[in-house]
Every structure is written in structure tokens, then in C-alpha cells.
């Protein structure tokens, strides 16, 4: 075991990717960090540039998060332009490749792409991936920062590969419910690479890009690799704010660019949870969801019927006269609750809200790899 430890923690969101190069023994304020455009935003802009020039596209790589890149590729095809995609990359747009073909995309096997690039020299080739190892290494090297690490921890949102005919939203929340009932704490949504559930195909794909980083950076190819759900990472990271950690009964709400996830924690164990799409709710609706979560009256079906993912309550309903738990909020869209009658506290874990997910990843890595805890915990709130 080395005398010090370097951990690359990356929280891949829909708007940004938040990057922390953690070094044990160094004040965490002095660790290097970047907040950059998310991979799906970067790829969407490249696709839009090809659309403007009416250029055909070849999309290869792995299954990644959709959102902006999905909409850009769809619009490219709707404009009458060619979109060719490999099966693995194609599952970015739908787990059912027949649905991908119905979007107007042409699916080709990976081994045919080299010939296509020769036959159609005007093809714009874009590699799909949530973790661009080369770009991050080049970013570090541009500032003379050694990219070598002793462990990697990466968070991303994964709907899971729903069977045909099953709602992605329902499939994801069924998985969330199963996880919470098995282990009611936020760190239960973190997995060492070899233990990632089979249905979490996006996290599985990220492991392949992560191994590329380890090779390219000269790191140990067997270095610990942890993957985690991004909302859960942010909520876990919020507990690194001393005021939040001191609460016996609290609700932590992460308002992301596309998804809002709230945990009701008692003694840091989950007693309730809901997940919704940020764009589908306003302040009044979010307040109502949070109040119902606190009172134990929120139902899975009402959240799902409102275009959300779902809700789960593990405690009985309480009197509406009971004071609401302490409410802490994180996330790039946390302004949605500013001025709210619920008086939310804007958590600032270790002085940096945008790195809440990265701090949650560090905490989860210390839980999943106890031998690393002595290197990680002194930089966090140890309790």
C-alpha cells in the first residue's frame, strides 16, 4: 500500500462533468478540480455542427447517457441526414435496437466501420462515451499534472436496460426500491466494477473507458474502480457539510439539470425516497412532493403518473402537525427552491457544492474498500 493515495473522482451529469483529483495528505481545497461540459453536451454540439453542414454521421463507441446527444442525433436524422450507428453505441438511444432503426438510424456491426470510413470519406465519425480518458489525461498534462491514479470512482445516471415493453422509468425505480429495501443507505448505490448489476449497462460501459484511462495514464490496471448512481453520490456528498451531518432527521434533495432525487434520512439511513424529472416540476410541485415525503403520504403511483420515476416510503405516515425534518438541497438547479416556504439549507460540502458528487464517491469508496478509508476519511468528516 502506498504512503499516499491519488483518486480520480468524476461525477458525470447531463449538463456538466465534475472532476476531482484527490490526493491524500493534501488539504482538499488544494486538490485539483475541473467543472466541464458533460460528454452528452459535447457530443450533441458535434452532431449539431454536422447537421448544419448536412454531413453523414458514424457513431461508434459504447452505450452512454442520452439527453442532448440523443435529441441531436434524432434531429440529424429527421433533417434527412444519414446516421449510422454500431449496436453498442446504438443502445444509447434505446435498449431495443428495432426502436433505434425506427428513428431512421442504420445499424452496422463494429467490424464494418473501417470499410465505411473508406467508402464514404465525408462521414463524420464520433465516438460515444461517458468518460473520455484521452481528453481528461490531456487536460491534466496541459497543466503539468501527473494523470497517474491509485483508484477511480465515477458516477452517472443509469436507467438500466429495461426489457421491451417495460417503461424505463418504472424499471429504474423498481431497481431503486430493491436496492433500498436490501440496504437502506445512499452508499448502497455504489458498486465495485466487478459487482455492477448486469442491468446497469451504462455503468458497465463506463468501466471499459475507465480501464482505458488506467492504461493510458500508466496506472495499475488492477486499481480499484467504483461506479455509482450520480444522484445518490450527490446526496451522500451533501453529508460532508457539518450542519447536514449533524441532523438526526433530514431530507436531502439533489436538484440536477434533468433529475431531482430526494432522500429522507433518519440517523443517515433511508426511510423514504422519490425521483422526478426536474423539467416536469416547479417550486410549488417540488414543495408538495417534499412535504408528502416527510409526512409519509407520497405514493409511487402519483409520482409515476406525473412523469416521474417513483417513490418509496419505509415509515408510517405521521401527523401533518409534526415539524418537517431539516431540508438540505444540492445540485445545479437548486435555485428552484430558493425563497421556498420550506426554508431549505443550501448544502456546501467541504466548501464546494458542485463537487458534492465527487465527495460522495470518495465516501462510498471508503465504504466499499475499507483498506482505503485511512487515506480518504481524514480529508472528509470522519464521523
Residue 143 gets which letter from DSSP? Answer: T
Cell of 281: 416540476
Superfamily of domain 242-347: ATPase, nucleotide binding domain (3.30.420.40)
* 245 neighbors 381 (Cβ within 8 angstroms): yes
Nearest one of 338, 275, 266 to 308, comparing CA atoms:
275
For the sheet with 151-156, list strands across it.
Answer: 32-37, 16-23, 6-12, 151-156, 225-229, 190-192
pLDDT score of 209: 92
**Pairing mode of beta strands 16-23, 32-37:** antiparallel
What percent of the chain stands above pLDDT 90? Answer: 92
Closest by Cα among 170, 197, 188, 185 to 311: 170
Count CB-CB contacts under 10 A for residue 80: 8
What does the pLDDT look like over 249-289, one tens digit per residue? 999 999 999 999 999 999 999 999 999 999 999 999 999 99
On whether the CB atoms of residues 78 and 104 are closer than 8 A, the answer is yes
Please write the tens of the pLDDT for every residue from 176-217: 999 999 999 999 999 999 999 999 999 999 999 999 999 999
Domain boundaries, the chain: 1-234, 242-347
Rounded Cα distance between 299 and 282, Å, is 19
pLDDT by residue (tens digit) across 295-345?
Answer: 999 999 999 999 999 999 998 888 888 889 999 999 999 999 999 999 999
Asked whether 294 and 273 are in contact (CB, 8 A), the reply is no
Share of the chain above pLDDT 70, in %: 99
- Give the residue among 28, 14, 5 at the shortest CA–CA distance from 355: 28
Task: Using a cut of 0.85, tell me whether the model's pTM lies above it.
Answer: yes
Q: What is the pLDDT of residue 166?
A: 87
Q: How confident is the model at residue 382 (pLDDT cuts 50, 70, 90)?
A: low
The pLDDT tens digits of the residues spanning 94-139 come to 989 999 999 999 999 999 999 999 999 999 999 999 999 999 999 9
Run of H or E residues at 213 = helix 201-216
69-77 mean pLDDT = 97
Q: Where are the beta strands (DSSP E) in the chain?
A: 6-12, 16-23, 32-37, 57-61, 83-85, 106-107, 124-128, 151-156, 190-192, 225-229, 249-255, 259-266, 269-277, 310-313, 326-330, 345-346
Please tell me whether residue 85 adopts helix, strand or coil conformation: strand
Cα–chain center distance at 346: 20
Closest CA to 336 of 281, 288, 290, 289: 281
The grid cell for 28 is 482538499
Amino acid at each position: 500500500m502506498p504512503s499516499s493515495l491519488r483518486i480520480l473522482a468524476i461525477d458525470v451529469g447531463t449538463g456538466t462533468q465534475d472532476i476531482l483529483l484527490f490526493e491524500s495528505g493534501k488539504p482538499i481545497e488544494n486538490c485539483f478540480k475541473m467543472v466541464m461540459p458533460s460528454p452528452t453536451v459535447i457530443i450533441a454540439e458535434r452532431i449539431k455542427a454536422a447537421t448544419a453542414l448536412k454531413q453523414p454521421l458514424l457513431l461508434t463507441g459504447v452505450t452512454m447517457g442520452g439527453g442532448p446527444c440523443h435529441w441531436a442525433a434524432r434531429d440529424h436524422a429527421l433533417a434527412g441526414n444519414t446516421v449510422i450507428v454500431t449496436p453498442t453505441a446504438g443502445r444509447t438511444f434505446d435498449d431495443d435496437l428495432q426502436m433505434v432503426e425506427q428513428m431512421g438510424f442504420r445499424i452496422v456491426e463494429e467490424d464494418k466501420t473501417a470499410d465505411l470510413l473508406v467508402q464514404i470519406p465525408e462521414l463524420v465519425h464520433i465516438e460515444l462515451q461517458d468518460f473520455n480518458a484521452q481528453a481528461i489525461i490531456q487536460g491534466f498534462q496541459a497543466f503539468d499534472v501527473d494523470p497517474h491514479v491509485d483508484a477511480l470512482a465515477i458516477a452517472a445516471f443509469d436507467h438500466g436496460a429495461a426489457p421491451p415493453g417495460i417503461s424505463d422509468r418504472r424499471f429504474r425505480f423498481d431497481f431503486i426500491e430493491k436496492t433500498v429495501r436490501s440496504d437502506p443507505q445512499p452508499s448502497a448505490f455504489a458498486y465495485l466494477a466487478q459487482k455492477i448489476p448486469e442491468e446497469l449497462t451504462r455503468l458497465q460501459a463506463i468501466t471499459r473507458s475507465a480501464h482505458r484511462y488506467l492504461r493510458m495514464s500508466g496506472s495499475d490496471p488492477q486499481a480499484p474502480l467504483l461506479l455509482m448512481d450520480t444522484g445518490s453520490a450527490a446526496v451522500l456528498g451533501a453529508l460532508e457539510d457539518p450542519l447536514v451531518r449533524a441532523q438526526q432527521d433530514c431530507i436531502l434533495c439533489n436538484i440536477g439539470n434533468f433529475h431531482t432525487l430526494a432522500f429522507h434520512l433518519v440517523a443517515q439511513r433511508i426511510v423514504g425516497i422519490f425521483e422526478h424529472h426536474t423539467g416536469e416540476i416547479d417550486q410549488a410541485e417540488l414543495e408538495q412532493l417534499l412535504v408528502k415525503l416527510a409526512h409519509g403520504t407520497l405514493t409511487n403511483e402519483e409520482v409515476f403518473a406525473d412523469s416521474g420515476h417513483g417513490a418509496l416510503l419505509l415509515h408510517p405516515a405521521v401527523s401533518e402537525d409534526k415539524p418537517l425534518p431539516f431540508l438540505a438541497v444540492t445540485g445545479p438547479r437548486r435555485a428552484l427552491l430558493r425563497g421556498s416556504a420550506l426554508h431549505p439549507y443550501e448544502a456546501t460540502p467541504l466548501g464546494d457544492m458542485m463537487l458534492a458528487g465527487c465527495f460522495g464517491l470518495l465516501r462510498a469508496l471508503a465504504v466499499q474498500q475499507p483498506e482505503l478509508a485511512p487515506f480518504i476519511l481524514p480529508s472528509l468528516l470522519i464521523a
